[in-house]
Structure 1
Amino acid sequence: MTAYGIDLGTTYSCIARVDETGRPTVLRSLEGTDTVPSVVFFESADNVVVGAAARDGSVLEPGLAVSLIKREMAHGTPHRRHGRTYTPEEISAFILRKLAEDAQVATGEAVRDVVITVPADFGAAERDATRKAGEIAGLTVVDIISEPVAAAITYGLLNPELDRTILVYDLGGGTFDTTVITLRGGSIKVVCTDGHRELGGTDWDERLMEHLVEEFTLEHPDVGSPLDDPQAEQQLRVDAEALKRTLSSRNRHVVRVAHEGRVARVEFTRETLEELTRDLLDRTVEITRRTMETAAAKGVRDYDQFILVGGSTKMPAVAEALRRAFGVPVLIQDPDLAVAKGAALYAFEETYRRLLRSGDHAGAEAVAAQAGLTAERRELIENTTIRTVASRGFGIVLTGGSGETPHVLHLVHANDPLPTSVTEEFYTVVPDQAVVTVEIVEQAGAAESPRLDDNVRIATGQLPIPPGKPRGWPIEVAFDLDSSGLLHVTARERETGERLDLRVQIGGMSEEKVAESRTWLSQVRVG
């Protein structure tokens, strides 16, 4: 009955579970590390390497490696390796399999039920793609929860009886989120959330890499750029990340850049790092301020603490900038592991609650006994609720007929409480219309816009209309967005009862394709 929590990160991932003392514990990889680099190396058609060895392999053969795949969950870019095309879901599934198989070695039991975390800013398509990645990996995805919520669960465990209002500042390897959360009586309520899907520690690495190249070129102007050599570029990326980590604890470091037989020793200081990346940090402060303005409009103006999670928050400049800008106490709460631990706690507690709701009190008792839960802890878990919000607005494309520019009407808005259900009536635009095309979109930018170009199509389908109907024949469309942020849309023609059920999907992966990938990829060795 053990359920696991997985932080499927852009640059690093990890897996955790609740131990026999009721505390969340991260399970170490076969390499002996808490986190695994989210890098996949396609050694051959039937052998895939994930983690540190994959990252090392990417330096020698960068064309066989895939990294930062989490950033591609939004648009489904395919990757072709050894004659086969892999979707982002399939590549992510290899990372999940590595985590699950290493955890099985560590615990002696197979990993089946999991909760996977995603950035708060992920929309329905990315969340659905993450769920499918878990299924392709052979896992049962109990739920998808936002990373800031997972971090708040970990934080709330410290003082479950203490009511707090916090802002979770989550700067990971590839994404950035800010989320305002209230903790009351052990329950969690998300007030609002904001963020940027392509802003993270990788962007800091990019700036460092560019500077290293500039310094090398200044010293060796007669030699080509290291960026023209895929192997040299990949080595620079590895060096840049290591440099960023080093300068989080040291004030000075020297990097050796080698290319075409020439070497440049580049001395780097923490001050140089901060100067090169000041605009990136300023963007996170601006988004944080915007989040707080949204929260203020909802009546939340006072904060007990800012909680920093994500490995990139270890850079001293982050906490300093937040204290200077907002004057709120800042706590760096287990930045690399807090999300996985929170997911494990949620997985455990939700398993316990579901067993109780289903009437399986013996099963619930077994779960509680396994973790040594006290009566007080059981009562707290039973009464805990998590209320979150929509990360993005969702709408439908409307047109008045021939010559009128299509536009978007949003039925669900960013920061609407979840779960939510909205039903609206729409109408045909011409007499004797045979079908209605139902096109669902998701808000793409920071603000809602009726322009098609400011939204992303995430689902489409056609609903038949009975013959001979006049213009303005009614069609009912219902949006159902669950607490995980997964969207289901139903369109219905009332006279015939004809229904169109739309599931949001990304990268063309239908449920049939997911099952097919699960079978095929299970035959590939993952090391």
Structure 2
Amino acid sequence: MAVYGIDLGTTYSCIASIDRVNRAEVHRSGEGADTTPSVVFFETPDNVVVGQHAKDSAVIKPDLVISRIKRDIGQEVVRTLHGKPYTPEEISALILRKLAEDAQVATGETVSDVVITVPAYFGAAERDATRKAGRIARLNVIDIVSEPVAAAITYGVLNPQEDCHILVYDLGGGTFDTTVMALRGGDIEVVCTDGDHELGGADWDDQLVEHLAERFRREHADVGDPLDKGETEQDLRKIAEDLKKTLSAKVKHTVRVMHEGRATTVEMTREEFESITRNLLERTLEITRRTMETARAKGVTTFDHLVLVGGLSKMPAVAETLQKELGLTPQLQDPDLAVAKGAALYAFEETYRRLLSSGERDKAEAMALESGLSGTQRRQIEGRTIKTVASRAFGIITTRGSTRESYVAHLVHANDSLPASVTEGFQTLDDNQVSVAIRVMEQAGSVESEVVENNNQIGEGELRIPPGKPKGFPIEVTFALDASGLLHVTARENEQGGQLDLDIQIGGMSEEEVASSQTALSRIRVE
């Protein structure tokens, strides 16, 4: 019974599973590559193309091509293609379907049970939306796991005897995270995490695109701006991405920018490229320093290894700058594939443990036998634990009675150990109050703040209060954040054994909408 790990990336995605000798194996796309561009081309209302061919089509039909959808996941954003609206969850589901169908062709087995990775800094809404995207793709999402945790699993498997503290620097196509983890006897414990889910390789591309366009504008001031025409902009984006990758291997490279029959030749050195994008690398350093300071405050004073993952971490400037700034020697850990491989290992081990805990030992043993697990490896998996932390602070809007000033009272704080369950008491403000508005808030900035504007609302509901109650009538609010970072909120009033419960629906899509999307997308052919 195969289970799969999926790295659902901003720019590229990947799927893997465990082979017959207990190694994580990446399954190639239908185009023969280890990774699939996270790009969707809505060729017709009933046919979509996902991957490299979709990416190539962006130059010709940019209005029908969607990329970087991961940056919108968990938000109420709608894209309209061929007159039909699509949510980020639905577009992500099409990418997941492509990965699953390609893996099915490669293995001859139906892909059903999966673990999907997300950036460590993703909040509750993004994690819940990612799970729903998997369900819309008709996949059974066993769990959602943070990308650095998946990378650490890969690292731990390759270095099973070593107890250490590692700092994972994960610079992907659209997101950036840093995470400090402790590896002890095969167990993994996340100490703290930080990041920015709008910082990644796509931003390096954007700055290169602007630089190339500016060079063209200076040389051809009498023609239109190349960024005003969709086809030219998409062509520039392809040139920029290729240039970025080339300058990781070469110290200089020449490209041509074409627009309205004119051409500009641009020779760029690696040094110039690094200078243009230095501000972006510096932002990653600021977050990394902050993460290390948080770790030190939690008792981690030394860092044994600096592990680099994410495709952009292959840029020479990353390793050079980190070694100079942090005094640690970076280790490239299979940067493009480590997350998918770790997710596959996690999916396998989690499924094995769940079968054992549910009494299905025969199935667990068959699974272990098929994957060539030794007795020692089986015992290690049974005993292994993975502990993680909250990526952000979560709370509700409440009011100071004397001033009626609204503020956010956080019940769960960033880097609290997970799973977490916190209950706090609140009171009504007025006599005969008939209801209480429960507005669930999530930390928006890099630091926790009680200012309402510095938080994002991720859920809301209304708790009914029994009639005739004086002000100060007590209510309880419970925040339960599970190990995957998914949040469940309950508000209740307790009087003579009675209670009212309120379940907050986190994420943009309801269960009914998920079911409807499943049906609608099943009619679309994915290539």
* Superposition TM-score, scaled by structure 2 size: 0.99
**Mapping 1:425-436, distance limit 5 Å:** 425-436=425-436
- Aligned with 2:342: secondary structure? helix
Task: Quote the residue 2:52 is aligned against.
Answer: 52
Q: Distance in 2 between matches of 1:400 and 1:483?
A: 32
Query: Post-superposition shift, 1:207?
Result: 1.1
Does residue 183 of the first structure (1) align with residue 186 of the second (2)? Answer: no
Question: Residue by residue, what CA displacement relative to the aligned partner does 1:368-403 show, whole Å, maximum 9, x if unpaired?
Answer: 001100111111111100000000000010024696
Post-superposition shift, 1:222?
A: 1.3
Q: Distance in 2 between matches of 1:505 and 1:218?
A: 46
Superposed, which structure 2 residues align to 1:144-223 within 5 Å? 144-223=144-223
Aligned to 2:337: 337
Indicate the residue corresponding to 2:287 in structure 1. 287
Map 1:107-506 onto structure 2 (within 5 A): 107-400=107-400, 404-495=404-495, 496-506=498-508
Structure 1 residue 225: deviation in Å? 1.2
The one-letter code of the counterpart of 2:297 is A
Residue type of the alignment partner of 1:372: G
SS of corresponding position for 1:32:
coil
Larger mean CA deviation between 453-462 and 218-227 belongs to 218-227
Letter in 2 for 1:21: V
Offset, 1:239: 0.8
**Would the aligned equivalents of 1:487 and 1:503 in 2 still touch at CA under 8 Å?**
no
Q: Report what 1:37 is aligned to.
A: 37
Q: Partners in 2 of 1:402 and 1:512 — Cα distance?
A: 42
Q: Is the 8 A contact 1:124 1:504 kept in 2?
A: yes
Question: How big is the shift at 1:75?
Answer: 2.1
Root mean square deviation, CA, Å: 0.9
**SS of the residue aligned with 1:195?**
strand
Count of residues paired in the alignment: 525
Offset of residue 74 of structure 1: 4.0
Cα displacement (A) at 1:301: 1.4
What secondary structure does 2:17 align onto?
strand
CA gap 1:380/1:60 in 2 versus in 1, 3 angstroms: same
User: After superposition, what is the alpha-carbon deviation per residue over 1:221-243, rounded to whole angstroms, capped at 9, x for unaligned?
Assistant: 21111101100001101110010
Quote the Cα distance in structure 2 between the aligned partners of 1:162 and 1:368.
24
Amino acid at match of 1:293: E
Counterpart CA distance in 2 for 1:198 and 1:162 is 34
Q: Secondary structure of the residue that 2:446 maps to in structure 1?
A: coil
**CA distance in 1: counterparts of 2:471 and 2:145, whole angstroms:** 43
Q: Does the CA contact (< 8 Å) of 1:435 and 1:462 recur in 2?
A: yes
Kept after mapping to 1: 8 A contact 2:307/2:332 = yes
Contact 1:394 1:443 (C-alpha < 8 Å) held by counterparts: yes
Residue 163 of structure 2 aligns to which amino acid in structure 1?
D
Q: Which amino acid aligns with 1:384?
A: R
Gaps of 5+ in 1: none
8 Å CA contact retained: 2:74, 2:88: no
Answer yes or no: is the 8 Å Cα contact 1:304–1:329 preserved in 2.
no
Paired residue type of 1:365: E
Describe the superposition over 1:57-107 as per-residue Cα deviations: whole angstroms up to 9, x where unpaired: 111010001110001114231100111100000000000000000000000
- Hey, what's the Cα distance between the residues in 2 that align with 1:462 and 1:218? 58
Kindly indicate whether the alpha-carbon contact (under 8 Å) linking 1:400 and 1:429 is maintained by their aligned counterparts in 2: no
Q: Matched residue of 2:504: which SS? A: strand
Report the CA distance between 1:503 and its aligned residue. Answer: 2.7
Question: What CA distance in whole angstroms lies between the structure 2 residues aligned with 1:400 and 1:320?
Answer: 51
Secondary structure (helix, strand or coil) at the match of 2:110 reads coil
Question: Does the 8 Å CA contact 2:74/2:127 hold for their aligned counterparts?
Answer: no
**Structure 2 gaps, min length 5:** none
**Could you tell me whether the CA contact under 8 Å between 1:492 and 1:500 is conserved in 2?**
yes
Task: Using the aligned pairs only, state the percent identity.
Answer: 64
Give, in whole Å, the separation in 2 of the partners of 1:343 and 1:473.
47
- Contact between 1:40 and 1:65, CA under 8 Å: does it hold in 2? yes
Partner of 2:513: 513
With 281-290 and 143-152 compared, the bigger mean Cα shift is at 281-290
Per the normalisation by structure 1, the TM-score is 0.99
